[in-house]
Amino acid sequence: MTSTDGADPKFYAEGLRFECQGSGKCCTSRGAYGYVYLTTDDRKRFAKFFGLTVARFQREHCETTDGHVHLKNPEADCAFLRGKRCSVYEARPAQCRSWPFWPENLNARAWNRDVKSFCPGVGKGKLHSPEEIEKIMRSKS
């Protein structure tokens, strides 16, 4: 999950514009993209947000697949999506905070096919520099 596999620095050498539009589309299941992986810090942040112990949060809301902890029911929309809004926005995981600047998205083919085709925030708002993109990309894990 810390890999930069798939990222092409030439693709984002001039930076990329992105600003979340609050559509909630990135929170709806898209097959393999349905998994919301959680770091230890994510689980601590969620536990604090809900007023639970980390162990209880993990028991009630998490599963482990191939050694990676993730939210339950990856084949369904995010359990914390209410309408089209994130109900845990302040506590959202690193994976969500770093969208769409994931290594596997940062090449022309994936950006156009997997991101731009459905995310209305692409091409809008702030121009993120290559350095910012790489910092965000590293924060995913």
Locate 76 and state its tokens: 């369904």
Q: Which residues pair with 16 in a beta bridge?
A: 128
Q: Model confidence at 77, in pLDDT bands (50, 70, 90)?
A: confident
Domain assignment present for residue 11? The answer is no
Q: Model confidence at 1, in pLDDT bands (50, 70, 90)?
A: very low
pLDDT higher than threshold 50 for residue 129: yes
Domain assignment present for residue 1? The answer is no
Domain assignment present for residue 8? The answer is no
| Mean model confidence pLDDT for the chain | 90
- What's the predicted TM-score (pTM) here? 0.84
> Treating both helix axes as pointing N-terminal to C-terminal, what angle do 40-50 and 54-61 enclose, rounded to 10 degrees?
100
Weakest mean pLDDT among 29-33, 73-77, 99-103:
29-33
Weakest mean pLDDT among 23-27, 72-76, 111-115:
72-76
Domain assignment present for residue 20? The answer is yes
pLDDT at 32: 63
Domain assignment present for residue 64? The answer is yes
Quote the number of domains for the chain: 1
Entry field: residues in the chain: 141
Domain assignment present for residue 37? The answer is yes
Domain assignment present for residue 10? The answer is no
Domain assignment present for residue 52? The answer is yes
Q: Model confidence at 108, in pLDDT bands (50, 70, 90)?
A: very high
Q: What is the pLDDT of residues 16-68, one digit of tens each?
A: 999 999 888 888 866 666 789 999 999 999 999 999 999 999 999 999 999 99
Residue range of the domain that includes 48: 16-138
